[in-house]
A and B are shown apart, each in its own frame.
Chain A
Amino acid sequence: MKLTGAEIVCESLLKEGVDVMFGLPGGAILPLYGALSRYPQLRHILCRHEQAAAMAADGYARATGRVGVCAATSGPGATNLVTGIASAHMDSVPIVAITGQVPRPAIGRDAFQECDVTGITLPITKHNYLVMDVADLAPAIKEAFYVARTGRPGPVLVDIPKDVLLGERAEFVWPEQVNIPGYNPPQDADREQVAVAARLINEAERPVILAGHGVLISHAYEELRQLAERAQIPVVTTLLGISAFPTDHYLHAGMPGMHGMAYASLAVDQADLVIALGMRFDDRVTGRLRDFAPRARIIHVDIDPSELHKNIKANAPVLGDLKCVLRQLLPLVERRVHMEWLRRVDSLRAEHPSLRIRDTEALLPQYVMQQLSELTDGKAIIVTGVGQHQMWAAQHYGFKEPNTLITSGGLGAMGFEVPAALGAKVGCPDRTVWSIAGDGGFQMTMCDLATAVESGINVKFAILNNGVLGMVRQWQEFFYNKDYCATVYSANPDFVKLAEAFGITGIRVKDKSQVAPAIQQAMAIPGPVVVDFVIKQDENVYPMIPAGESVGEMMEEPAPEGVQGIR
């Protein structure tokens, strides 16, 4: 039986095992929605903004490890996806975005709501397709999913003209396999490369593992733990690598970099070997490149050959899928205990307890995160926005399970916290999902609280409300003579009333003593809740290594009034 293009899209999505997608319709993509109502197996979650659809697909993909799907119409619908797609691209997240396009005869004529979305997304997708023939639809969608999830994952966009969705019909033929000559994502690494890496590990006296997002993407946490334990190597994680190694493990040594823990940065600085696993030496991690790990040899394992030698030249570059590589590597690594080195890292931790929380009456964001960590036993999925609250979440939540921090790391897109949390919860309905928001970022996408209510998505939203664009305010304080130009939000809405307007519970917390009860109350309510934590306005994130500088220039927290909870 011949099907319309729209039906072919639906059938293809089913073949790919898709059961949910996020989107918002419009003229050019309407034929797809016309078919969608006949495919109840494909749950469609209607968002309030296409940016939310893209970011929800991202959150879904990261929480589940499956491809997230979003859909939007041509023109403004498609351009609204762009921030979400760019974020997914920077963070190697597999999403497939389906956009409607004006009918083929109208393309190139500046038709109503025409926009060259394949052109716009060229540099922010792993690949994209403009499908001009209904017979090409099924192969294009199969390829899109394949490209999105294999190798180094990333977003793929499929742009489909309205008349391809609705015009002539075609037989639905699902290709057995994809055929992309020259696209062969690596798996096992070259044995010689692995042997060199093993030799460097066996020779090292002060090794550090620097684990990135790649560990989570290739599901290599078990192998990572084995490697760390086998040779007793401390593990530091990048922001996106957080939760790749349990925070409560004795070899866990924090996060290095701009707002990382001092002891983690210092451990990398003093190491004689950095074993970089599935990370890309982002400037937030390295600081000034020439001063990064100056005493160390570098092993760099990555699946993307263009990452090797890109920012940091490796002594032992290893190209391959991390899980495969670690399995090859493990038998070659000698069991060792670097006693002296482990003691040194421990004393760094004691001398630079970056995570102590001042004992004060003020409501500190760090305290909120620490309480949340305790009350959820470090096992919730934490989805953050971008700014100070993101760093406090990264520093003070004790992540115990893999894949539980979802954050826009590479692009740093504010507004990620609300929609990505919705996507994560849709993907993992049995997990507790907390969205950690800044009051700035929250106001960028809070319209999608309606989506949470409408589609019954039980996310708990914590706003760390300082009434300012906090991270920018901090930079102004440190680097711009305290000129707080355009960072004070003097007319924020009442977030409790706002929650109520959406038909959900809002709780305001102004006092330290209310923190734990509010968190417990929020979790007891069987639906979305907004908790507005009114925190100290001028609290800063420490430590801080200023942009473009290095460990030597690290600013640590000024002398504490009291000490609590050294970790």
Chain B
Amino acid sequence: MVYNGHQQHTITALVQDKPGVLARVASMFRRRGFNIVSLAVGNSEQPGLSRMTFVVNGDRDTVDQVTGQLGKLIDVVRISDLSDQETVARELALIKVETSPANRGEIVQLVNLFRAAIVDVGAKSMVIEITGEEDKINALANLLAPFGIKEMMRTGRVAMVRGQAEGRVSDSVGIGRRGDIMDRARVNYEGV
């Protein structure tokens, strides 16, 4: 996916659920100057392990550096690069819009159109919950903007490969990366 002239890549990491693991990851991204577009963290299917989903901007080399540097963190167990994979990607957003008796109906129509849900209704506002890919959420937010968005919260993308595959998997130190490194090397090798 191309965004603002940069390629967007989705990377997931299985990490040990230990205090400070988020700080380690964040510190590495900051120090190396990698640009995180979004980051989502939560429990995984395995006890003691969490899964992080990163969306990063950059070219192929940058993403390889990101996965390489992530892999060096001792608490990171496994990394999957989901770029070039068939994935299901979702984000959740809560949007609080200003409402008046006059426009409520129109907003409800939009919500239905987007298969979003109204999860709270107040005298002058309502909270809308929407799940989907970023584009869909952006589209709804744009349409709601004229009514006045008081607050918006987005979770950042979570993503999963469709079917059996798991992305290009890397153990934290390298083993799984071998295939990857070779792929790129051969391209290089022919190029000389």
- Chain A residues in the interface with B (C-beta under 8 A): 118-119, 122-123, 126-127, 130, 147, 151, 180-186, 190, 192-193, 196, 297, 304-310, 313-317, 319
A123-B64 Cα distance, complex, nearest whole Å: 19
A392-B100 Cα distance, complex, nearest whole Å: 79
The reply on B154 being an interface residue by CB < 8 A is no
A147-B172 Cα distance, complex, nearest whole Å: 13
- Specify which chain B residues have a CB less than 8 angstroms from the CB of A305 in the assembled complex: 68, 71, 170, 173-174, 177, 181
- Specify which chain A residues have a CB less than 8 angstroms from the CB of B19 in the assembled complex: 130
Candidates A184, A193, A317; contact of B173 at CB < 8 Å: A184
Starting from the known contacts A147-B74, A182-B78, A305-B181, 4 additional A-B residue pairs (CB-CB under 8 Å) come to A123-B27, A190-B182, A306-B72, A317-B185
In the complex, the answer to whether B172 meets A182 with C-beta atoms within 8 Å is yes
**Nearest-CB distance from A308 to chain B (Å)?**
6
23 A-B pairs with C-beta separation under 8 A: A118-B20, A122-B27, A127-B74, A127-B75, A130-B20, A151-B173, A182-B173, A184-B175, A192-B182, A196-B189, A305-B71, A305-B170, A305-B174, A305-B177, A306-B69, A308-B68, A309-B181, A309-B184, A310-B65, A315-B188, A316-B185, A317-B182, A319-B174
In the complex, the answer to whether A319 meets B181 with C-beta atoms within 8 Å is yes
A309-B183 Cα distance, complex, nearest whole Å: 12
The reply on B91 being an interface residue by CB < 8 A is no
Bits for B154-192, please: 1 = Cβ < 8 Å to A, else 0. Answer: 000000000000000011111101100110111011001
A275-B16 Cα distance, complex, nearest whole Å: 37
In the complex, the answer to whether A193 meets B178 with C-beta atoms within 8 Å is yes
Central interface residue in B27, B78, B174, by most chain A CB within 10 Å: B174
In the complex, the answer to whether A122 meets B189 with C-beta atoms within 8 Å is no
The reply on B94 being an interface residue by CB < 8 A is no
In the complex, the answer to whether B28 meets A123 with C-beta atoms within 8 Å is yes
- Specify which chain B residues have a CB less than 8 angstroms from the CB of A122 in the assembled complex: 23-24, 27
In the complex, the answer to whether A183 meets B68 with C-beta atoms within 8 Å is no
**Nearest-CB distance from B78 to chain A (Å)?**
6
A390-B182 Cα distance, complex, nearest whole Å: 38
Main secondary structure, interface of B, reads helix
**Nearest-CB distance from A306 to chain B (Å)?**
3
In the complex, the answer to whether B185 meets A193 with C-beta atoms within 8 Å is yes
Contact A315 to B65, CB < 8 A, known contacts A122-B27, A190-B182, A193-B181: no
**Nearest-CB distance from B28 to chain A (Å)?**
7
Closest to B15 in A: A182
The reply on B61 being an interface residue by CB < 8 A is yes
The reply on B77 being an interface residue by CB < 8 A is yes
**Nearest-CB distance from A135 to chain B (Å)?**
15
A180-B178 Cα distance, complex, nearest whole Å: 20
Bits for B90-101, please: 1 = Cβ < 8 Å to A, else 0. Answer: 000000000000
Candidates B73, B77, B185, B192; contact of A181 at CB < 8 Å: B77
A190-B185 Cα distance, complex, nearest whole Å: 13
Closest to A302 in B: B174
The reply on B124 being an interface residue by CB < 8 A is no
In the complex, the answer to whether A313 meets B188 with C-beta atoms within 8 Å is yes
- Specify which chain A residues have a CB less than 8 angstroms from the CB of B16 in the assembled complex: 181
- Chain B residues in the interface with A (C-beta under 8 A): 14, 16, 19-20, 23-24, 27-28, 31, 61, 64-65, 68-69, 71-78, 170-175, 177-178, 181-182, 184-186, 188-189, 192
Closest to B14 in A: A182
In the complex, the answer to whether B69 meets A319 with C-beta atoms within 8 Å is no
- Specify which chain B residues have a CB less than 8 angstroms from the CB of A309 in the assembled complex: 61, 64-65, 181, 184
- Specify which chain B residues have a CB less than 8 angstroms from the CB of A315 in the assembled complex: 185, 188-189, 192
Candidates B68, B69, B173; contact of A186 at CB < 8 Å: B173
- Specify which chain B residues have a CB less than 8 angstroms from the CB of A182 in the assembled complex: 14, 76-78, 171-173
A172-B172 Cα distance, complex, nearest whole Å: 30
Central interface residue in B19, B77, B172, B178, by most chain A CB within 10 Å: B178
A429-B48 Cα distance, complex, nearest whole Å: 46
**Nearest-CB distance from A467 to chain B (Å)?**
37
In the complex, the answer to whether B181 meets A308 with C-beta atoms within 8 Å is yes
A392-B19 Cα distance, complex, nearest whole Å: 47
A127-B76 Cα distance, complex, nearest whole Å: 11
A308-B186 Cα distance, complex, nearest whole Å: 14
**Nearest-CB distance from B20 to chain A (Å)?**
7
**Nearest-CB distance from A267 to chain B (Å)?**
20
Candidates B27, B74, B192; contact of A180 at CB < 8 Å: B74
In the complex, the answer to whether B173 meets A185 with C-beta atoms within 8 Å is yes
Central interface residue in B77, B173, B178, B188, by most chain A CB within 10 Å: B173
**Nearest-CB distance from B163 to chain A (Å)?**
24
- Specify which chain B residues have a CB less than 8 angstroms from the CB of A127 in the assembled complex: 73-75
**Nearest-CB distance from B39 to chain A (Å)?**
17
Closest to B191 in A: A315
- Specify which chain A residues have a CB less than 8 angstroms from the CB of B69 in the assembled complex: 306
In the complex, the answer to whether A183 meets B173 with C-beta atoms within 8 Å is yes
Closest to B179 in A: A190
A132-B33 Cα distance, complex, nearest whole Å: 32
Central interface residue in A119, A130, A196, A306, by most chain B CB within 10 Å: A306
Contact A126 to B188, CB < 8 A, known contacts A310-B65, A319-B178: no
- Specify which chain A residues have a CB less than 8 angstroms from the CB of B27 in the assembled complex: 122-123
Closest to B170 in A: A305
A118-B75 Cα distance, complex, nearest whole Å: 14
Contact A123 to B23, CB < 8 A, known contacts A184-B175, A309-B61: no
